[in-house]
Amino acid sequence: MVTTMSANRRPPDGAARTGVGPEWTGRPPVHGLYRLKRAVVELGSRALPSRKTALGRALHEWRASLVADLGGEGAVSTQRLCLIDLAVRSKLLVDSVDAYVLGMPSPVNKKRRQLFAVVTQRQALVGQLQSLLRDLGLERRARDVTTDLRSYLTARVSGSATTDGAGVKSPAGAVADGPPGDTEAAP
């Protein structure tokens, strides 16, 4: 009786393991870190999942929020955009390895009484991501709003009705000139 088995799969019930040939190696499933790293190196940004997938949408959202925290697309230099792309790829690797490690029964090899290699490699990836984020800067930067402020003020001076921050329309001359909380109208 000949049975066909794919790589890294157990033989079907009732089939004897021959131990010969590529049908079954007996190894546990691998974490895929090196395959993912190789794909990122070979394909670059094309290795990122498309926005059609949930993972792709999450990574693109994270990248957009990172760019927004750094002051917006116009305020970020080309070098920072390169660091941001590297950080996104590193986050993909870290998240993938985290999913694998959290799915393991234990991160400790009980026979050798030490951590599995994938756990220490995860720590190196986290250190790389942390270094990239530190290079980008830990503080949030404000977006340059002077152009928006100028257009707001010109519309305000021209006498057109504007909306305040709450979305309520107010007439152009209804703003007091005093400090906030001053209830007297301007003369």
Whether this model's pTM surpasses 0.75 = no
Which tokens go with 132?
Answer: 């990239």
Number of other CB atoms surrounding residue 119 within 10 Å? 16
Q: Cα separation of 122 and 115, whole Å?
A: 11
DSSP helix/strand/coil, 35? helix
Residues 6+ apart with CB under 8 A from 122: 94, 97, 98, 101
List the chain domain ranges: 33-136
pLDDT at 144: 65
Q: Cα separation of 162 and 2, whole Å?
A: 80
DSSP tag of 105: S
pLDDT at 91: 92
- Contact of 101 with 122, CB cutoff 8 Å: yes
pLDDT in tens, 127-151: 999 999 999 887 777 766 666 777 7
| 166: pLDDT strictly greater than 50 | no
- Contact of 172 with 99, CB cutoff 8 Å: no
